[in-house]
Amino acid sequence: MGAGIFEKIKVEGHEQLVFWLDKLANLRAIIAIHDTTLGPAIGGVRLLRYDSEEDAICDALLLSKAMTYKASAVGVNFGGGQAVIMKPDVPIESDALWWSFGRFVNSLGGRFIASEDVGTSVEDIEKALRETKFVVGLSHALGGGGDPGPVSAHGVYSGLKACVQKALGDTSLSGIKVAIQGLGHVGYALARELKVAGCRVYACDIDSRKSQVAGENLGLEIVDPQKIFDVDAEVFSPCALGGVINEDFIERMNFKIIAGSANNQLADDRLGKVLQDRGIIYAPDFIIGAGGLINVYNEIEGYDQARALSQAGKIYDKIKQILEFSEQTGVPTLEAAMIIARQRLDRVRKVRGLI
Ligand code: NAD
């Protein structure tokens, strides 16, 4: 890792980095806790094949820090954490692995609350329940919120509306053209809301079955996944994978707004400034996509979907605040969101006498 491990943790302000080895369960797991000023750390559990331990540690450190800022910015009173499990080369005995992981989480006594992430499912997380109560993102049957897609989509819809208002001065979405990339849990629910609001929705998915079903059910104009960047629409909504906003994309497209759920949309954070210079409004992904976090937060307080949807609707105000701050200060929207998140953390640290 270049610098020593303590130095690496110190640089980004992390509190704790914990390792767990269970030879019998073939489990090598890491939990990073970035900051617990606002409350216990919450974060996903990523199960991936990493090239090296260093890559796994970096992922945990990076994602836990992002979670601190996400929670702070949208007013969720939890800290930032992340777990990573290094996927072994041998077949996994799933029950043993998740029970062991549950013991790991439990050993932290509630400082870290785990939810599903890339490579893990609701069923996996529910297996860990046998060993710890510090897991969220459960199915309705177990008192959880179930699929967070609709709540995430409502957050995106609300943030997108704030962007349209800023860019076009329009308070109604009726007649606005939106191009959605990805018709999965979030993209499908978003397309449904946009159609109800009177938008003209173009959409694609690399899974042609999903495109066909969504097209027929919702009345979408389905386009080839290779052509989605060329659609003549005011809004582009990335709801598939990260990294889609690169220099080629920016050269090629004519959208006025980018507002979607995908995590880490910018191939490089510096592109936020390129978008700003070209007059394109970019809704920071970690804010507009915070509905998933809001959904699990509600689980901790006693799940009620109407309440979760109402809180996700407040992403409208948050995006509006960020766009105004960006305009007043001249900083790109991604940076504006980070500043706003940091300011809240600092205020809470002062109130709690931590600084
Ligand atoms: P999902 O896996 O249900 O859906 C993603 C869809 O994108 C799939 O249908 C897939 O076939 C499609 N896809 C993949 N590559 C594509 C491409 N190049 N072109 C077109 N379609 C493509 O995932 P999801 O839960 O809907 O999440 C979508 C994105 O939003 C992800 O980046 C996720 O990390 C992020 N996100 C999700 C939530 C949530 O609540 N599910 C919350 C916040 C952020």
Q: Please tell me the distance between residue 351's alpha carbon and the centre of ligand 1 in angstroms.
A: 39
Two tokens, residue 346: 């600092």
CB of 115 within 6 A of ligand 1: the answer is no
Best residue among 152, 193, 212, 311 to mutate for probing ligand 1's pocket (most ligand atoms within 8 Å of CB) is: 152
For residues 17 and 60, is the Cβ–Cβ distance under 8 A?
A: yes
CB of 184 within 6 A of ligand 1: the answer is yes
Angle CA 267–170–283, to nearest 5: 20
Q: Please tell me the distance between residue 31's alpha carbon and the centre of ligand 1 in angstroms.
A: 25
Query: What is the number of other CB atoms lying within 10 angstroms of the CB of residue 221?
Result: 14
CB of 125 within 6 A of ligand 1: the answer is no
pLDDT of residue 3: 72
| CA distances in angstroms from 86 to 51, 57, 135, 314, 329, listed in the order given | 9, 10, 19, 36, 42
The answer to whether 5-63+81-135 and 149-342 have equal CATH topology is yes
pLDDT in tens, 268-300: 999 999 999 999 999 999 999 999 999 999 998
Task: List the chain domain ranges.
Answer: 5-63+81-135, 149-342
pLDDT of residue 2: 59
Task: Note the CATH number of domain 5-63+81-135.
Answer: 3.40.50.10860
- Confidence grade of residue 266 (pLDDT, cut at 50, 70, 90): very high
Burial of residue 49 (CB within 10 Å: 0-12, 13-18, 19+) is exposed
CB of 63 within 6 A of ligand 1: the answer is no
1 has pLDDT over 70: no
Out of 5-9, 66-70, 83-87, 215-219, least confident range: 5-9
Query: What is the number of other CB atoms lying within 10 angstroms of the CB of residue 212?
Result: 13
Looking at the DSSP bridge assignments, the partners of residue 203 are 180, 222
Record the pTM: 0.92
Alpha-carbon span 136 to 295, nearest angstrom: 10
**CATH 3.50.7.10 assigned to 149-342:** no
Which of 224, 333, 344, 232 is closest to 288 using CA atoms? 333
